[in-house]
Amino acid sequence: MAESKKDERSSSPLHVVVFPWLAFGHIIPFLELSEQLAKRGHLVTFVSAPRNLARLRPVHPELKPRIRLAPLPLPAVEGLPAGAESTADVPPEKVELLKVAFDGLAAPFAAFLADACAGGEAGEGHGRKPDWIILDFAQHWLPAIADKHKVPCAVFLIFPASGVAFLGTKELNAAHPRSSAADFTVPPPWIPSPSCIAFRGHEAEWFARAWDPNASGVSDISRILETTHRCPLLICRCSHEVDGQLCSLLGDLHRKPVLPSGHLAPYAAARAAGVAGSGADDDEETASLMRWLDAQPARSVLYVAFGSEAPLSPEQVAALALGLELAGVRFVWALRRPVGEDPPELPDGLERRVSGRGVVRVGWVRNAEELKEVLRDTARQERYIDDLVEQLLQRRTME
């Protein structure tokens, strides 16, 4: 590549294809990362199944022109309910069928990428050949497709840094095989001693099953190990402030760059940009919650949350509310709004009766430690993304 073309390419915006697994616990942080890239002037093509894209929260108008949504319809799979496109649409026992459908996207994605690369490096905007593909743990088949078009891949792992370190690499697991649940109740040999990173007995039984092939013919662990093995760059949703030395340990274990993304608080990109209407009310609600937490005695607040995989029925919401009220404990309840549905209704007068000792918040709530360590310093998040973008830019221009 001529020197002038190198300089021109290094200064032009990135075009990044972002492709998460079919779970909103993955889709949301992938969208937040996309917003951070778009905030810095880079272009993102965000790939998912059509219904998932339709259920995304709105991207702020200032960022929206740089984020293109690209639907890839899932193939029909026997036993998978019609219209099921995410783990929120199926019971746990049918998630493996969702992986069968997801693997069926290999050929459509290959066609999509061929079309995306057709414009070459001279193309404009989203019509330019992608510089990177940021994929999830589940696409063990994708790096081979990307290699044919000479598009580098980075895997974005949303799992805790401790979990990524505990899992290790394909090579480390081959050298130190683990199969029984008991193997996972102790730290693996590649984590420096002393360490308490291990599973409890009931957790270890669940984790051991993740090594068994499911209906897709591939185990979840094999997907992660193969994907991280094939990608030249890893991005981990972690930070030095929260995860400490684990951040550098991950790079040592994988023998390739592992870049922290920070913890990617929702709407962080729009808020950091100072965009009007990008969540000021949410900021004030978070600040109020933090002030309340600071006023409580240490280790006295119960955090109640069920995540994105366990939506509560109205009856369950009512029962849990009654239990919290009768227990008399201090609590923060992150009551999740089901995707595409109205907020769940609380019993009449609950918030008045628990005022001063209980907080119910519909939507996203970090735990207290992360609130203190991450949300108070948005500049810290900005530095992580700036470093990540710098690495993506530098590696794009490498011969």
Is 229 a known active-site residue? no
Active site residue: 26, 60, 126, 254, which one? 26
Nearest CA to 236 among 154, 156, 163, 152? 156
Dihedral (CA of 285, 286, 289, 294) sign: negative
Q: Measured between alpha carbons, how far is 35 from 270 in angstroms, rounded to an integer? A: 8
For residue 75, the number of C-alpha atoms closer than 13 Å in the C-beta half-sphere is 14
What is the rounded end-to-end Cα distance, in angstroms, of the chain?
8
Whether residue 263 lies in the annotated active site:
no
Catalytic residue among 89, 103, 131, 136: 136
For residue 156, the cross-strand partners are 235
Name which of 395, 385, 379 is nearest 42 in CA terms.
385
CB 231 within 8 A of CB 153: yes
Q: In a 10 Å sphere around its CB, with 0-12 CB exposed, 13-18 middle and 19+ buried, how is residue 212 labelled?
A: exposed
Closest CA to 21 of 162, 297, 220, 207: 220
Cα(162)–Cα(191) distance, integer angstroms: 10
Q: How far apart are CA 335 and CA 359, in angstroms?
A: 10
- The C-alpha atoms of residue 157 and residue 20 are separated, in whole angstroms, by 10
Q: Any idea which residues carry the catalytic annotation?
A: 26, 136
